Amino acid sequence: MRRRDFVLSAAALGSAPALWAASPIKPSPKAALIVVDVQNCFVDGGTLPVKGGADVVPVINKLGPAFQNIVVTQDWHTPGHASFASAHTGKKPFETTTMPYGTQVLWPDHCVQGTEDAALLKGLNLPTAQLIIRKGYHPQVDSYSAFQEADRKTPTGLAGYLKQRGIKTVFVTGLATDFCVAWTAMDARAAGFETYVIEDATRAIDLNGSLAAAWKQMAAKGVKRIQSGDVATA
């Protein structure tokens, strides 16, 4: 499989048009809600804040009761992780470097295992969530996707878990739209799941045009872009 670059190409700017549901989608028992990285590190006051990141919480909380199957992910880095700019002499956050698996965006130190910065937001209310997938815990490999690490060789086991549960469709929410959400959604499609990204339940970093590029790439992979109002929650 061809490696997907970490810096999503912004060659054709302008996001793809949203795909609106003709009528509200009622999630079946074979659907799962995936909530990506809604953690302290990615909201105001965190180490890698995404503008408006906390605004996804009430939207996700409203969606939660509509799903019988919910999976939550956490970025869970070791101290001194290879994706941190501080681990590379002379490098600054948001610069890039070359890793054995390709181009790597270098981030501020964030979501370090066991810290409050890595904890899920306290306002996130998903009492029926069955599984937490922790990713990015291998010291030399970053991991954006909930399905596969950045080396594109190491699976997290999520695809097998969902398939064994009989899941056919996934709805992806969380942070950030143009990185962990996009990679998760595209890998879900590659694994054979019908895949929706609920746009207003996500927020983006938008690094050098990465948001527009991410939507274009997701559309090309068959990911459907909807709003929370397109999902029947009653």
Q: Does 111 participate in catalysis according to the annotation?
A: no
User: What separation in angstroms does the CA of 157 have from each of 96, 102, 138, 149, 182?
Assistant: 28, 23, 15, 11, 18
Q: Does 37 participate in catalysis according to the annotation?
A: yes
Task: List, in order, residues 6 or more apart from 45 with CB less than 8 Å away.
Answer: none
Question: Which residue(s) pair with 84 in the sheet?
Answer: 107
Q: Can you tell me the distance from the alpha carbon of 118 to that of 46, in angstroms, rounded to the nearest whole number?
A: 9
Residue among 176, 174, 196, 169 at smallest CA distance from 185: 196
Among residues 41, 75, 109, 135, which one is catalytic?
A: 135
Q: Can you tell me the distance from the alpha carbon of 37 to that of 135, in angstroms, rounded to the nearest whole number?
A: 10
Residue among 222, 177, 188 at smallest CA distance from 32: 188
| Radius of gyration from C-alpha coordinates of the chain | 17
Among residues 41, 75, 178, 180, which one is catalytic?
A: 180
The residues that are catalytic are 37, 135, 180
